[in-house]
Amino acid sequence: MKIKLSLLLFLVSNACLAEFPLLSENFESGMSPSFKEHVQIDTSRAKIEEIDMGKGKSKALVLDYSDLTEGFPYMLRVPKGNGFLPVGKNSYKISFDYKILSLSNPDLARHVFQGAIQRFNNSRRISDQLVGFNGKAGKTGRFEAYTAPSSLAGNDAFFYFSPIQSGAKIAIDNFKIERGIDFPAWMFEEKILFGMAFYPYASGFFLQNPQLKKLSKEEFFPFIDKFGQFKHKEWPNKVHSVEELKNKTKEEEAYNKKYANIPNRDKYMGFANPKYRFGATGRFRTQKVNGKWFLITPEGNLFWSIAVCTVGLYSATPITKREHYFEDISDKRFISHSNNTRHLFKFPHETFGFEYRNLEWKYGANWRDFYGKIVGNRLRVWGVNTLGSWSRDFILRDAKVPYTAYLDSIITKRIKSKHKLESHWQDVPDYFAADFKENLNKVVKKDKELIASPYCIGVFIDNELPWQSKELELARGVVQSEKDQPAKIKFMELLKAKYGEISNLNKAWKANYADWNDFLKTDTFIPSTKSGIDDLLKIEELYYRQYFKTCMEAVKSVSHDLLYLGCRFAWSNGLLRRVANEYVDVVSYNWYNDDASGLANPEGSVDKPIIISEYHFGNQDRGVFGGGMRPCNTMRDRIAANNRYVKTALENPNVVGVQWFRYSDQITSGRDGDGENASVGMVDVCDTPVYDFVESIRKLSEGMYDYRLNANVK
C-alpha cells in the first residue's frame, strides 16, 4: 500500500513564523522526505522492517538501542534541526503504535521508553512533563501525548523520547502529529503560574475539563478555595462549607456500616485458614508456600501486604508571591516558614497547611488523639492491611494495623569526585565514613519501641539512594575522589594488602604512582587493564557490603528475627542487587510501572521475597491537575490500571506485597519543595475517602489469597 502523507502548514497569528507541520506516516514506502525533515532519529540505529504489531504484519520503523547501558540519547525528537516550536495557544498531539521487540536488560524493564513534553517561555524551560511506556518484550500498544504550547519560537525540542538503560529494541508505526488542544493564551504568560509539578494545562486534566478554555485570567484567580480544593470544577464528595465538611463523618459512618470486616482474617489481618497454618513466632517472617513467597503473621497465618504510605503526613503548600492563588489563607496558625529551596522555590518562603486546618474543622483541635483509630477502622473496611512508609507515629501506635517502619540513615560524608556520578536526589554517600554505623544505631535506638512491636512487619532504611545504574561507575568515582575520602582510603588498604609494593600495583594497572600517598592524591587516573577492572569491582562490592551489612546489623540489634526490608531501590545495577540479596530479608523496589510481572531477583542472586515499596496510578478528571508517575485520564482508568497491577503482583511468585503511594491526594497548588500535585490519594484534601477507589481495593483484598494460591497462577 502506498504511503499516505499529509503535510499542512499554518501561519501563526501576529507572527511571521510557520507552525510545525502535521504528519501522518505509516512507513509502507520507507521514511518519507517530510518525516526525515521534521523528525530526528539516529539513522544508524533505524531501519524499516516487516513487523507483526498485533494486528498482522506491516512495515514499521525499528529503532535498535540494544547496546544502551547509560545516558539518554534521543531515540526520537521533534522538531529536528531548525524546525519551529509552536507559538501561541496551540498544542500538538503525537501518537504512534509501538511494540517492544527485545530488552537486553529485562531487570530494568520499567525504563524502556521515556520522554518529555517541554514548553519554553523567554528561553526558560518551565514545563517538562515526563511521559512514556514500558513492559516486557512482545508488549504492544498505542502511545499518545499532548504537547504544551510555547510563547517563543526557537530550536528546542518540544517532544523527545529516550530509552533508558534497558537495552531496548522498539518498533513504531502509524506515527502522527495532529493539532491538539487550544489553551487560553493567558496561562502561558511569564510567571502567571509557577511552583507546581503539573499545571491546569496538563493534557490529561485539560482534556477532562474543557470549560477551562472559557475562563479569563480574572475569572481563574483565586483558583484554590478555603479547603485547598480547585474552585473551577465539581466532582463527587467535593466540600463546599465547614458544616458540610463536618457532616462527612456521619456519611462515612453510614458507609462503613454497609461493610463488615473481611472474613477469615486474624488479629493482624492475615489469612486465617486451617489449611495454611504455620508456626506462630510472635513476629512477622517470610516463607515459601507452593513455590510462592508469603509473609507469615505473628499468629502463623499467610499474609500478603496491601499497604498505603504517608498516613498522617501532610504537606503544606507555598503561598509567598502566590497569595492571589488562594481564597482564604488568613489563619496564621497554619502558616509556617520554609527554607526548602532545592527544587521549585529558590528562596525562603511561607507555606499554608490546608489539610491540617481541614482536619481541625472536621474533628476538632484534638484530632490527633483519636485519628489513628479512625484510620484503623478505615483500613479494615477498605481491605488495606498495612501502614506503609512515612506514616506518622501516632497513627502506627493507635491504628492496630500492621506496619512497615521507615528510617533514614544519617550521612555526614559524600563522595566528591572528578568522575561524574549519578546523584538523583542527593550526592553519593560515603558509607566508609567513621560515624556511619554509630549514627545509624542511634536512629534505630530512637525508634526501638515502634520497631519492637509485633505489629511491625519490618524496617526499611533509606529511600531511592543514588545508586549507579551501571557497574564500575561507583568505583571509578572513588578512584578519582579526594585524598581524604574514606572510601578511597579503604580502597588503598585493600590494594596494599593485595599488592604490597606500589610497583606491583603500577604493573597490574599500567599506572605510574610514586607511592601509596601519591595514589591517594591522584584523581585523574582510572585503570582499564583486566586486573584494574577486577580491583574496581572488588571495592565496589565492598562498598555495597559495607552499607547493607551495617543496616542489617542495626535492624537485628532490636530483634534477631525482625525483618530488614532493604532500601527501596529506584536505581540499581546487577552487582548491587546481588549483594543486597545476601543481607536483606525482603528486597524492596519502588516500581512505577504498568504491571509487576517483570520484577524478579537478579540472575545468580540469593532467592529473596520482594516487596513493592512504592507505586501508584493517578486520575486527572477531578480537582487535582496531575496524575503522578503513572497518569490516567479518569478514576475509572485509575481503578482498572490498579486492578491489573495488583493482579500481576499476586501472580508474581517473588512479590509479597504492594505499597500504594500515597494516603491523601497532593494539594492542587503543589506541596512544598518539589511542587508535586497528583491525584493519587485514598482520601482527598478534605480527608474524605475516595469511595470508588477504596471499594475496588476491598474487592482485590477479599479475593487475593484465593487468587495467589490458585494452582493456575504461575
Residues 145 and 281 in one domain: no
- Is the pLDDT at 400 greater than 50? The verdict is yes
In a domain, 6, yes or no: no
pLDDT of residue 104: 77
Average pLDDT value over all residues in the chain: 89
Given 560, 580, 614, the domain boundary residue is 560
Q: Tens digits of per-residue pLDDT, 49-74?
A: 999 999 899 999 999 988 875 556 77
Q: Tens digits of per-residue pLDDT, 223-247?
A: 999 999 999 999 999 999 999 999 9
In a domain, 633, yes or no: no
> Model pTM?
0.90
Residues 174 and 264 in one domain: no
Find the domain containing 80 and state its range: 23-192
Q: Tens digits of per-residue pLDDT, 170-207?
A: 999 999 988 877 778 788 777 888 899 888 988 789 88
Q: Tens digits of per-residue pLDDT, 484-494?
A: 999 999 999 99
CA-nearest of 575, 576, 574, 554 to 564 is 554
When divided into structural domains, the chain yields a total of 3
CATH of the domain at 167: 2.60.120.260
Helices of type H across 330-386? 354-363, 371-382
The residue ranking higher by pLDDT, 143 or 332, is 332
Non-local (6+) Cβ contacts of 318 within 8 A are 195, 338, 345, 349, 350, 351, 669, 670, 672
Lowest-confidence segment of 18-27, 133-142, 508-517, 693-702 by average pLDDT: 18-27
| 660 band by pLDDT with thresholds 50, 70 and 90 | very high
In a domain, 342, yes or no: no
DSSP state for residue 154 in the 8-state scheme: -
- Is the pLDDT at 478 greater than 80? The verdict is yes
pLDDT of residue 163: 66
Residues 133 and 274 in one domain: no
Q: What is the mean pLDDT of residues 88-104?
A: 82
* Top-ranked range on mean pLDDT: pick from 8-12, 92-96, 316-320, 420-424: 316-320
| 125 band by pLDDT with thresholds 50, 70 and 90 | very low
Non-local (6+) Cβ contacts of 676 within 8 A are 197, 626, 628, 666, 670
Given 506, 525, 560, the domain boundary residue is 560
Cβ atoms of 472 and 575 closer than 8 Å:
no
**What is the share, in percent, of the chain residues with pLDDT greater than 70?**
88
- Is the pLDDT at 280 greater than 60? The verdict is yes
Q: What is the mean pLDDT of residues 574-592?
A: 96
The residue ranking higher by pLDDT, 86 or 499, is 499
SS3 of residue 543 by DSSP: helix
In a domain, 290, yes or no: yes
Cβ atoms of 53 and 170 closer than 8 Å:
no
- Is the pLDDT at 460 greater than 90? The verdict is yes
Residues 146 and 276 in one domain: no
Residues 150 and 289 in one domain: no
Three-state SS across 45-101? HEEEEEEECCCCEEEEEEEECCCCCCCCCCCEEECCCCCCCCECCEEEEEEEEEEEE
pLDDT of residue 121: 46
Cβ atoms of 432 and 487 closer than 8 Å:
yes
Given 541, 560, 579, the domain boundary residue is 560
Q: What is the mean pLDDT of residues 309-318?
A: 96
Lowest-confidence segment of 54-68, 120-134, 286-300, 382-396 by average pLDDT: 120-134
- Is the pLDDT at 119 greater than 60? The verdict is no
pLDDT of residue 84: 46
pLDDT of residue 501: 97
* Phi, psi angles (nearest 5°) of residue 560: -65, -25
In a domain, 80, yes or no: yes
Lowest-confidence segment of 343-347, 369-373, 458-462 by average pLDDT: 343-347
Residues 289 and 152 in one domain: no
| 118 band by pLDDT with thresholds 50, 70 and 90 | low
**What is the share, in percent, of the chain residues with pLDDT greater than 90?**
72
C-alpha cell at 586: 525482603
In a domain, 502, yes or no: yes
Residues 292 and 177 in one domain: no
In a domain, 603, yes or no: no
Q: What is the mean pLDDT of residues 8-20?
A: 35
In a domain, 120, yes or no: yes
CA 369 – CA 357 distance, rounded (Å): 16
pLDDT of residue 420: 93
Q: What is the mean pLDDT of residues 561-568?
A: 98
Q: 231-240 contacts: CB < 8 A, separation 24 or more?
A: 231/327, 233/209, 233/622, 233/623, 235/621, 235/622, 235/623, 236/622, 236/691, 236/692, 237/684, 237/688, 237/691, 238/623, 239/686, 239/688
pLDDT of residue 117: 55
